[in-house]
Each structure stands twice: as structure tokens, then as C-alpha cells.
Amino acid sequence: MIIKVGNWEVDSTTLFRVEWRKPFPKIILHEKFETKVKWTLRVLTFVGVGTSVISLPPLYSLLLSIGLLLFEQFLERILFEYTVFIVQPFPDFEIDYEQWLTNGYLFPNSAYKDELLNHFGPVYMTKEYAIKLFTYLKSWNLDNADDNDNNICLSFVLENDNSYTTYLYANPDRKWLDTMFDEYIEKSKYEKYGKQQQSLVMQMIHWKNLELFDTSLFLKFINDQKTKGEYYFLPFYIDNGQPIPIEDLKICKYEYQLIKRDKLTKNDIEYHYK
């Protein structure tokens, strides 16, 4: 469930959830509720002591004691989580959403199709902005020209209104993030003893919705280019009405995602943006 707080949306599962861990379910709470749980346990202890001096029929007294004991044990087994945020560095320039005009493509001549690679990338209004933004995108891959680990995610969502949306975002599962989260676990193992780390990443997501025409080169790209296959990802800019590729910034990629809007789930980043 999504809880709205002002302009923010908070997924309630980050605060409270139940997971089945054999043989019993496990309650997982954020550590912000730890004090409340501790006071609840103290109150239960006080109630247990208080009922011991109240004259009740033996059966009722036994049932009450068992009930309090079970509830207390249930609370004692709650697993608390603490949150660690890693923030993807934001660009040091202003994002201009009007700059991304369309998408650009280069296809090798049929005579060289087995030797050369398809090219794809956003087309920006100016060369200066294209260089700035794509240099920033390339930082998601540690400035490398080869993206073996799919650190820069590219996906296409086929919409229900005869259009498609292109998404660009840093892979939330990139390997060096795990290293950073593991380092924090090690540093805080005494302070957070017995607690589970909740690892969250804050980052930018770029997307562009475009009409899908029968003559669109996008259709040729997805027909020619396998979703698991080598291609070049690079920026283009407009000069005299023509998209010009910036070859110096190209990145060799090995996969992209192609999916219909109604096939997305809440676990997909693209599901939440349109």
C-alpha cells in the first residue's frame, strides 16, 4: 500500500510487512517503531503482574496468562529494520526536459551487417547539452565505454495508445552498490545488532514518450536488434534538421528491455512513470 505524505509517496512495506519464514510468519517493522514495541512489552508485563493479584476463576486466569505470554512472545520475535539510503549523484547542470526531441538510429549497410553494430540513442536539441547529459549518464557505468553489467538500463514500453516510451536509468542492482551496503553493515554491526538492513537507492529516471508510426525506425530497431545482443548506445544532436551521432561518447551495450505496458508489474521501475 502507498501512503501519501505531502508530495511524497511512501510504500508501507518499508515500514511494516509480514513474511512467511517457516514454520511461523515473521513480523518486520522499521526501527522507528522499536520504542513503541518496547513500551508495549512493559505494559504487558505490568498487566501480567496485576492480574496475578486479581481474584479470577482458575480457568480464566490460566487462559489470560497464556494469552499474554503468547502475545508477548510474538512481540519479542519482531525483526526490526533500519534504512540505508544511497543517493546517485545528481547532475551539476539543470535538466532541460525539452532537449530530448526524439530517438536516433544508425543501421549498418547490409553488406557489413555481420561486422558492424546497430546504433541507438536519444536525439537532443543541441550538441552541448547532448554531451553534458550523456557524460552524466556514462558516469553510471563508471565512465566505461563497455557496459557488460548493464549498469545503464535501457527499456522500451509499448503503450496502449499507439506510442512507445523510452526509459533510461541507472541499474538499481549494480554490483558496487552491494559493496557499499555491505560496508555499512560491517561498520554498524554493533550499533544495529540484531537488526536487518533495508537498502534503498535514490536516483534520476529519464523517459520520453513518442508516437509510433508505421515508418518509425524504432520498429526496424526492435526487429533487427535482439533484446540480448550487442549494440552501441550514444547521443545524437540536431544540425540543419538532421540527427548527428556523437561517436566519441558511444557505449557498447548487450541488452535492453521491450515490454507492453499491461505486462508491467509494481516491481518494474517503468510501471510508476509515464
Report residue 206 CA to chain centroid gap. Answer: 13
CA distance 27 to 25: 7
Cell numbers for 110, please give them. Answer: 547490409
Burial environment of residue 268 by CB neighbours within 10 A (0 to 12, 13 to 18, 19 or more): middle
**Contacts of residue 115, Cβ cutoff 8 Å, sequence gap at least 6:** 108
Cα within 13 Å of Cα(24), Cβ side? 8
Question: pLDDT truncated to tens, each residue of the chain (274 aa)?
Answer: 444 444 444 455 666 666 666 666 666 766 676 677 666 656 666 666 556 556 556 666 666 666 666 666 665 666 677 677 777 788 889 999 999 999 999 998 764 555 589 999 999 999 999 999 999 999 999 999 999 999 999 999 999 999 999 999 999 887 767 776 776 667 777 777 767 776 677 788 999 999 999 899 999 999 999 999 999 999 999 999 999 999 999 999 999 999 999 999 988 999 988 7
Nearest to 187 by CA among 175, 197, 200, 173: 197
| Residue 139 contacts residue 253 (beta carbons within 8 Å) | no
Residue 120: count other Cβ atoms within 10 Å of its Cβ: 25
Long-range contacts of 67-72 (CB under 8 A, 24+ apart): 68/44, 71/44, 72/41, 72/44, 72/45, 72/48
| Residue 91 contacts residue 140 (beta carbons within 8 Å) | no
Cell numbers for 120, please give them. Answer: 541507438
Whole-number pLDDT of residue 237: 97
